[in-house]
Structure 1
Amino acid sequence: MRNILIVGGSKGIGSAILLQQLESNKIFNISRNPPDLTHPNLIHFGLDVLQDQLPEIENIDTLIYCPGSINLKPISSLSIDDFRNDFEINVIGAVKVIQKYLPVLKKGDDPSILLFSTVAAKLGMPFHASIATAKAGVEGLVKSLGAELASVIRVNAIAPTITDTSLSASILRNDRMKENMIERHPMKSYLKPEEVANMAAFLISDKANAISGQIFELDYGLVTFKM
């Protein structure tokens, strides 16, 4: 049984990862709202990562930071605060958690860190200036920390395309928009949270012991293929 810290495990991709890992691992979840279940293997800490003091946790083998944002506006409509808030959520929050738990994580069993980027950090997409900038910071963090911690902790990230979660509800708010999104992807689909959880499960497992400093695009061909 591994000790997994998930930040943002109460909904979306984080919830899918939590549910997948809960039966066989001990899960510490940090989020403002609790997950919609109780379980003997689950310990929840209700707090705001950016504002509150992080709890003391004695044993951690894996750290997964899930919080993200989708703030899609033309550059002329984005304020400096928009850029600042997206950077705080996606980068500063991750840095704060990593710095807090790094000493504990270094003592873990096959320790690893998993962060989240977006396909928009590699594929130029209109109205994504703020979130793409923040997630590019996440990718830089993965590369730098992967090198710095190479002999001790593996560090990777998943860069999903649009995923069917509450965060993307406004983008997938009706059948027409869903069909348009399907058609936009060469493989004619977009992601479900469980698919991202499957990749997460691989990257935090001993099957991925040779992998660090990598960004994995789950994109249904959006970045790689031109059709």
Structure 2
Amino acid sequence: MARTIIYGGTGGIGRATAHALRARGHALHLVARDAGALDALAAELGETSVTAGDVTDPGLFARASAEAGEALSGLVYAVGTINLKPVGRLKPAEIEADFRINALGAFLAVQAAAPGLKAGAGEGTSGVVLFSTVAAAQGFAAHASVAMAKGAVEGLALSLAAELAPQVRVNVVAPSLTRTNLARSLTANETVANGIAAMHAVPRLGRPEDTGALAAFLVSDEAGWITGQVIGVDGGRSRLRTKG
């Protein structure tokens, strides 16, 4: 059975996506740094194989694609960074690191998986989901590094969607602030979290399941006519202002 690769599979959004895809009957191949966490999640999900490694290692992507199998039904790159600093405090090395993890990693993941994704498409399509952020479309202070990196992801996805059509569909999910371990520095303080939540038309922070459900849908055959899109899962933050 063709598998869907999920990079960052043990993270908050990656894990939620894995559960949503398994509920739809997808076999999975998870990629993450923590081998123990991978094995535990694979045992929990069933029909799941794993590759342990870090996305800053260029050799990881070919290895993960090979271990996932010759035919792939989808790819989800649920890897990201949150590096929020004023422009005067950002160092070039930090910007390069954000770009490497978010944009270059996404490119290398799709590049390595493209033959398998085309093989797995059969007479239909396979689905790729990359992740951006609401901050790529909205101007938020102290978000220069992550907004640049995720903006590159959106440009990459549009190019790939055109180049890999019709066998492979490529879409982007752009969440607002979501309660994950990665975002703990922003969500651990409930006063801060509630203040950010109130900025949304639906006044709460995101849950991993919100984003995972959409990612799973975009990989599935039900989204067979959706490609080249950037879709917000953001409580309306990117489009709506309910006050002032």
Which residue identity does 2:216 align to in structure 1? A
Alignment check: 8 A CA contact 1:60 1:105 kept: yes
Matches for 1:131-150 after TM superposition, within 5 Å: 131-150=146-165
Q: Which runs of 4+ in 1 moved over 4 A?
A: none
Distance, in Å, in 1 between the alignment partners of 2:150 and 2:234 is 15
Deviations 1:127-154 (A, max 9, x none): 0000000000000001111111222210
Distance, in Å, in 2 between the alignment partners of 1:12 and 1:43 is 19
Structure 2 match to 1:83:
95
Alignment check: 8 A CA contact 2:178 2:208 kept: yes
Q: Structure 2 stretches of 5 or more lacking a match?
A: none
Q: In the alignment, does 2:53 pair up with 1:47?
A: yes
- Per the normalisation by structure 1, the TM-score is 0.95
* Greater per-residue helix proportion: 2
Give the deviation of 1:125 after TM superposition.
Answer: 0.2
Distance, in Å, in 2 between the alignment partners of 1:197 and 1:120 is 19
Matches for 1:1-227 after TM superposition, within 5 Å: 2-23=2-23, 24-33=25-34, 34-35=37-38, 36-37=40-41, 38=43, 39-51=45-57, 52-53=59-60, 54-55=62-63, 56=66, 57-109=69-121, 110-227=125-242
Which residue identity does 1:70 align to in structure 2? I
Alignment check: 8 A CA contact 1:22 1:42 kept: no
Distance, in Å, in 1 between the alignment partners of 2:114 and 2:153 is 17
Distance, in Å, in 2 between the alignment partners of 1:150 and 1:203 is 15
Which residue identity does 1:187 align to in structure 2? V
Distance, in Å, in 2 between the alignment partners of 1:221 and 1:20 is 23
Alignment check: 8 A CA contact 2:16 2:213 kept: no
Q: Structure 1 stretches of 5 or more lacking a match?
A: none
Where 1:112 maps in the other structure, the secondary structure is strand
Deviates more, 1:101-110 or 1:151-160: 101-110
Cα RMSD (Å) of the superposition?
A: 1.4
Distance, in Å, in 2 between the alignment partners of 1:172 and 1:208 is 32
Where 2:94 maps in the other structure, the secondary structure is helix
Where 2:28 maps in the other structure, the secondary structure is strand
Give the deviation of 1:2 after TM superposition.
Answer: 5.0
Alignment check: 8 A CA contact 1:6 1:63 kept: yes
Distance, in Å, in 1 between the alignment partners of 2:159 and 2:21 is 28
Alignment check: 8 A CA contact 2:176 2:234 kept: yes
Give the deviation of 1:105 after TM superposition.
Answer: 0.9
Distance, in Å, in 2 between the alignment partners of 1:45 and 1:150 is 28
Number of residue pairs aligned between Structure 1 and Structure 2 = 227
Give the deviation of 1:114 after TM superposition.
Answer: 0.6
